[in-house]
């Protein structure tokens, strides 16, 4: 456990399972207390955080709703008094042809994946700026670089995240706050295994392009999160780091 992080608080969205759960566990092991926002209950993750010797607050939260995020933020500040690290993991990843995408579908994907980043940052950035230290980390996707078919709406949200990261990093760089993104390849999760990804051969397609010949797991991403959340990343901001087994080389 890194003593430098003791007393710091990390907010993790989507922390009930999959990538968010792996991130919450790693940050707890690094010495952070954890606040989880998810539409599902996060009892299992809370247990992991407790096993790491850290405190955990878990709340049901609709990250697409500014009101819901505001209520969650109030609970975080009431419990911990601060948020030092914000990790936005939660997202939806529809596999859908553009011809079949309705306006209602489009707005839902934008709301959950991109508008949520606005709501979360509005809630937690001011405290970071006031403290003179903070880390904002979001998950984009290598679909932005690859132009993957069946993912027009999803890729658009992820491209928006990259623009958000670059611009916000410039605005807050003098405040001791860094803003970065991580771009995974297709990750083996309950969601991707249950979706159309296997039917479309996406796991095999990505594997054929990767330098590292195995499918990505949630645990492959936590080292990058740990770095971006630490003091070691103080001079790194506005960046998108592909953590994808060498699928894209930028």
- In our burial notation (b when 16+ CB lie closer than 10 A, e otherwise), range 96-128 reads beeeeeeeeebeebbbbbbbbbebbbebbbebb
Mean pLDDT of the region 41-53: 96
Residue 2 in this model has a pLDDT that exceeds 60: no
* Active-site hit among 93, 109, 145, 154: 154
Backbone phi, then psi, for 13, in 5-degree steps?
-90, 150
Residue 3 in this model has a pLDDT that exceeds 50: no
Average pLDDT, the chain: 90
Q: Which CATH architecture has domain 3-243?
A: 3-Layer(aba) Sandwich (3.40)
Dump pLDDT digits (tens) for 128-165: 999 999 999 999 988 788 777 788 998 999 999 999 99
pLDDT-derived band at 208, boundaries 50, 70, 90: confident
Domain boundaries, the chain: 3-243
pLDDT-derived band at 194, boundaries 50, 70, 90: low
Mean pLDDT of the region 185-213: 70
Q: State the DSSP H helix or E strand holding residue 70, giving kind and residue range, or none if neither.
A: helix 66-80
Dump pLDDT digits (tens) for 157-192: 999 999 999 999 999 999 999 999 999 987 766 666
Active-site residue 145, yes or no?
Answer: no
Reading across the β-sheet that carries 56-60, which strands appear in turn? 56-60, 33-38, 9-13, 85-88, 134-139, 177-184, 240-243
Q: Strands, DSSP E only, in the chain?
A: 9-13, 33-38, 56-60, 85-88, 134-139, 177-184, 240-243
């Amino acid at each position: 456990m890194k003593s430098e992080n003791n007393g710091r608080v990390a907010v993790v969205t989507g922390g009930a399972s999959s990538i968010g759960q792996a991130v919450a566990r790693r940050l707890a092991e690094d010495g952070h207390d954890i606040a989880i926002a998810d539409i599902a209950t996060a009892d299992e993750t809370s247990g992991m955080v407790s096993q790491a010797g850290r405190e955990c607050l878990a709340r049901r939260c609709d990250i697409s709703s500014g009101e819901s995020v505001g209520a969650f933020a109030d609970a975080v500040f009431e419990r911990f008094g601060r948020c030092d690290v914000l990790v936005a993991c939660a997202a939806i990843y529809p596999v859908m042809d553009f011809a079949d995408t309705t306006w209602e579908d489009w707005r839902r994907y934008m709301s959950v994946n991109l508008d949520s980043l606005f709501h979360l940052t509005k809630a937690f950035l001011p405290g970071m700026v006031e403290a003179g230290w903070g880390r904002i980390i979001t998950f984009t996707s290598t679909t932005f670089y690859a132009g993957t078919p069946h993912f027009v709406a999803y890729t658009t949200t992820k491209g928006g995240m990259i623009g958000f990261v670059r611009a916000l990093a410039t605005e807050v760089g003098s405040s001791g706050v860094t803003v970065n993104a991580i771009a995974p390849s297709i990750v083996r999760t309950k969601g991707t295994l249950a979706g159309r990804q296997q039917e479309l051969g996406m796991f095999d397609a990505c594997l054929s392009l990767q330098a590292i010949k195995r499918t990505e797991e949630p645990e492959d991403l936590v080292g990058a999160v740990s770095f971006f959340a630490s003091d070691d990343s103080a001079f790194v901001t506005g960046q998108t780091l592909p953590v994808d087994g060498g699928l894209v080389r930028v």
